[in-house]
Structure formats: structure tokens, C-alpha cells
Amino acid sequence: MSDRNPNEPGANRRDGPRLPPSAPGLPQPETWALRVVEATEIAPRVRRLSFTGPDLARFGYVAGQDLMFLIPTAAEPVRRRYTIRRFDRARVVVDVDFVIHGDGPAARWAAGAEPGAEIEAVGPRGKVVLEPEVDWHLFAGDESAIPATFAMVEALDAGVPALAFLEVDGPLDEQPTGAVVADLRLRWLHRGDAEPGTTTLLHDALAVAELPPGAGYAYLNGELQTVKALKATLAARGFAPDRMSAKGYWSVGRPNATHGEPAADA
Ligand SMILES: Cc1cc2nc3c(=O)[nH]c(=O)nc-3n(C[C@H](O)[C@H](O)[C@H](O)COP(=O)(O)OP(=O)(O)OC[C@H]3O[C@@H](n4cnc5c(N)ncnc54)[C@H](O)[C@@H]3O)c2cc1C
């Protein structure tokens, strides 16, 4: 374990053990009974829900990991995954930022959740965390990827080069990061009236982006087909497959499957 203050910005911060992504010992997922303590509109289409829970004081996670919520519906609950935006150990509160995209059980639940609302979640989940053995980091995605991008960027050490390309509707949807000590170059891309997941903005930006020298690692998260196209774009630029993590978070026109990710045939 590091003896650095785990809440110090840029201490490659992990509210749990410091482990490389390939380590078999990422924190074990548990089921948590959560209660909303605060609901905040942090952008026109993003609602932050802050949760606490009776056992949450012993919660631990690595930046980039997520929680799988059991979203109530009229029938069986559905599973939906959301990134842990941050965990405030002093207040015992975990923040999760939900894109309110207008359709889907999770978006509907999050849009209506007020303080006092109760829900179960399983986590921490996910193996996509900061790759420790590289010189620089590249992040790209849509609104759904902002929590993972910012959580990981905020955990980078001082001066580490990081490039982030984030597609949102427009200027009002740009979010501030928390404390960042990495050398972050953040570029917002505005889709305007286009539907999310339908533009080539991210692809066009990555195709010509000036990349730092040395070995980089790319984290590509968001709409499934967009993420696949970004992976191909970086491969064409010489990125090796083991220098990229490409994860479809959602799929245009298709609900996620019961395990909370896009269906295998999406
Ligand atoms: C590991 C992981 C981490 C994630 N982290 C986050 C996060 O921190 N914040 C976040 O908001 N999302 C995050 N997501 C994505 C989120 O789980 C999906 O968007 C999910 O589909 C939402 O569930 P739903 O029930 O609202 O919609 P679904 O029932 O899955 O889908 C219903 C309809 O809504 C559309 N839709 C779904 N998501 C979006 C979207 N983002 N924009 C536009 N249309 C959409 C679908 O195309 C479909 O037509 C993450 C996903 C994964 C796998």
C-alpha cells in the first residue's frame, strides 16, 4: 500500500488497494443497500445521485470501476452499470452521474430519484482501470464516459500527459473536472442537433490527434459502434490491441442486455 494520502489529488488515487489492472486482486464486489442523500443536475442531461448506505464505510474501489444497479421496473428489476464518479470516505457518500437520455429504466429511475430513494447495487465491478506502465493516456467517449474519464484523469500522477476527447450536445454540457495534477489536454466536441452515438466527431478527432511521444494507452468508452470505430481508427494509427481498452457502454436503439452491457449481437 502507498503511504501517500489517498485523497491527495493525483496520487494515482484509489479508494482501495493500488493494483495494476491485470492484478487478480481488484476489490471483490459486494451487494450494497444504498439510499439517495442528494440529487443534483450537474449538466442539462446529467443527474448526479449521491448515495450512502449502512455498510458503505468499508467500500473500496479503483478509479474507473463501476456499480451494477438493480433498477426497479414494473416486472423484474434490470441490471444497469454506472461508473463510480467519486467516493467521499469522510462523508461515506458515493457519487454516480446518470445520463438522462429520456428512455430506458435506469434513466427513468435516475430522473425521478429523490433523497430517501432506496436501491441495491453490486460492486465495485470492472477491470478497466489505469494502466500503470505507460507514458501517457488517451480517453475518448460520449457523456456516459465522462465519469470514467474524469475519475481516472483525477487519479493520474502529477505531470503525466493525458488527452481526453469528449462528445456532448453543446457548450452547456461541458463539465468541470475535479482536481487534476496530470498534464491534461481536454477537448470537447459538440454534436449539436445530431443524435448521440451517430456522429463521426470522435473518430475525426482521433484520426488526426497529435499524440505524445512514448507508449500510450487508450480508454475508449461509450456508444458501442462508435467505440468499435475508434478502436479501428487507433489501430490504423499503429496502436497495438494490448494498448487499448474499448468498451461499449450502450447501443443506439437497443436496450442493454440483462447483464447491463450492450447485447452480444448489438
Ligand atoms: C461499465 C459501464 C459503465 C457505465 N457508466 C456510466 C455512467 O457513469 N453514466 C452513464 O450515464 N452511463 C454509464 N454507462 C452506460 C449505461 O449503463 C447505459 O446507458 C444504459 O443503457 C442505461 O440504461 P437504461 O435502462 O437507461 O437504458 P436501456 O434500457 O439500456 O436502453 C433504452 C434506450 O436508451 C438508449 N440509450 C441508452 N443509453 C443511452 C445514452 N447514454 N445516450 C443516449 N441513448 C441511450 C438505447 O439506445 C435504447 O434505445 C455505463 C455502462 C457500462 C457498461
Q: What are phi and psi of 70, to 5 degrees?
A: -95, 95
Separation of alpha carbons 121 and 78, rounded Å: 11
Q: What is the dihedral of CA 154, 39, 41, 70, to 10 degrees?
A: 80
Instruction: Give per-residue pLDDT as tens, 70-92.
Output: 999 999 999 999 999 999 999 99
Question: Which of 256, 258, 259 has most ligand 1 atoms within 8 Å of its beta carbon, as the pocket-test mutant?
Answer: 256
Separation of alpha carbons 261 and 99, rounded Å: 15
Question: Is 190 in contact with 112 (CB distance < 8 Å)?
Answer: no
Burial-class residue 166 by CB neighbours within 10 Å (0-12, 13-18, 19+).
Answer: buried
pLDDT at residue 169 is higher than 60: yes
Q: How large is the average pLDDT for residues 99-124?
A: 96
> Residue 2's pLDDT is what?
37
Q: How large is the average pLDDT for residues 165-178?
A: 98
The alpha carbon of 144 and the centre of ligand 1 are apart by a number of angstroms equal to: 7
> Residue 118's pLDDT is what?
98
Count of CB atoms situated within 10 Å of the CB of 89: 16
> Residue 180's pLDDT is what?
97
pTM confidence score: 0.93
Q: Domains in the chain, please, with CATH?
A: 14-125 (2.40.30.10), 136-250 (3.40.50.80)
Separation of alpha carbons 52 and 34, rounded Å: 6
The alpha carbon of 26 and the centre of ligand 1 are apart by a number of angstroms equal to: 24
Separation of alpha carbons 87 and 52, rounded Å: 10
The alpha carbon of 249 and the centre of ligand 1 are apart by a number of angstroms equal to: 6
Question: Which of 45, 99, 100, 220 has most ligand 1 atoms within 8 Å of its beta carbon, as the pocket-test mutant?
Answer: 99
pLDDT at residue 170 is higher than 90: yes
Ligand 1: residues with CB < 6 A are 66, 80-83, 97-99, 101, 103-107, 126, 144, 147, 196, 249-256, 260-261
The alpha carbon of 248 and the centre of ligand 1 are apart by a number of angstroms equal to: 10
